[in-house]
Chain A
């Protein structure tokens, strides 16, 4: 048991108040004489930053924006409409909890369930396959969302040959292409990226390197405790001051430069990289996964050919798109906390536990 205790103690250090104060002191010392803007691209980073009130502790010249790091939020409306359509047509639909409540154009999976559709929340894709095994007479469609962290679990299960009555609505997306899109568009002038710790656990640090080279932007892969995020910020500032523009790893306890090679191999075996629209974005080149031809029998889109008519990204007045692109903070949306609340969310960013609007509403002041 002593090993357990030592590791727990070690991880606790990443929440150490005293160390946080000292890192903040170092951060303040930078005072570059201009405004500096960083962005993170991970819902879990947003939770850490807001829950621990880190923004209010940072100097006023330093701003940290939330980017497109919530997989449920960036899943396109048309894909949500597809899943609702499949559920309505009588297929058994499984999905992760957060996806259940997200509004499509007119409805949500939650509402479809209330109307009699069979929609079930699962914890993992393995559970979804178990549902298919237990219901051999039903067609079971799993809505596979998530970034590079989650996609290997989908790949791994497909390679284990699930039953024939199981198929996937693949909605997996890739983070570095979205970061490139943001840099290329220049809509927000960014001085650095806090890269996501668990996506990077899978992909490693290499895929970010072309971004630092091409757009001269520093990047630090950070973990999810307050100390991790503050250190990430400090390391970015240090790069700026020293004129370095590279990819560094703060989250060394989990991220290796080459990432998780086994997971990468499985993804390569199963998926093909395609261009795709993200909610709040136009088509982002090479930013999503689709099943390779060999797995066509498991592709719900090919198997059932659902047709979705025109889809609408956001309800009237909802500025979720700008929130997801890091143009505004949630509180800058006029509907925030008024017409749009946790009880009556208007957009995906207010629905899911990792949506920036939801996080801001839950943990209070911005």
Chain B
């Protein structure tokens, strides 16, 4: 029920966007976000973008724990 899937914002028109979910396109409402830009990745829940995806943060958390799991820093 709280499922949200990431998609890429292709086009914005007022409070709605066309979002690409790996080939499938859907209209998505943008009312719950400020400052979304075309090209951003958004998480979409029941037809609404609820957050923009922070790639850098995703990379960082993976990196820090990959190091732990490799034994490079004490867990």
Nearest opposing residue in chain B for A97, CB measure: B1
Which chain A residue lies CB-closest to B58?
Answer: A253
Q: How many A-B residue pairs have CB under 8 A?
A: 139
Count the A residues whose beta carbon is within 8 Å of the partner chain — how many?
58
Collect the chain B residues with CB atoms within 8 Å of residue A42's CB: 2
**B62 at interface (Cβ–Cβ under 8 A)?**
yes
Known: A152-B48, A153-B32. A196 touches B53 (CB 8 A): no
Beyond A19-B69, A150-B45, A262-B34, is A13–B4 a contact (Cβ under 8 Å)? Answer: no
Q: Are B66 and A253 in contact (CB under 8 A)?
A: no
Q: Is the CB of B47 within 8 A of A153?
A: yes
- Residue among B2, B33, B57, B59 with max Cβ neighbours from chain A (10 Å): B2
Q: Does B51 contact A (CB under 8 A)?
A: yes
| Closest Cβ neighbor of B33 among chain A residues | A262
Q: Which of B3, B6, B50, B53 makes the CB contact (< 8 A) with A202?
A: B50
| CB nearest neighbor in B for A4 | B8
A252 near B32: Cβ-Cβ < 8 Å: no
B2 touches A252 (CB 8 A): no
Bound form: Cα–Cα A325–B75 in Å: 32
CA distance A189 to B29 in the complex (A): 42
Query: A252 to B68, Cβ gap below 8 A?
Result: no
Closest Cβ neighbor of A8 among chain B residues = B22
Chain B hits for A125, CB < 8 A: 46-47
Instruction: Assess whether A250 is in contact with B61, with CB atoms less than 8 Å apart.
Output: yes
Q: Report B-chain residues with C-beta under 8 Å of the C-beta of A262.
A: 31-34
Add 13 more A-B contacts to A11-B58, A201-B4 (CB < 8 A): A10-B62, A25-B69, A70-B1, A71-B2, A125-B47, A149-B4, A150-B1, A198-B4, A201-B50, A227-B62, A234-B65, A266-B32, A352-B1
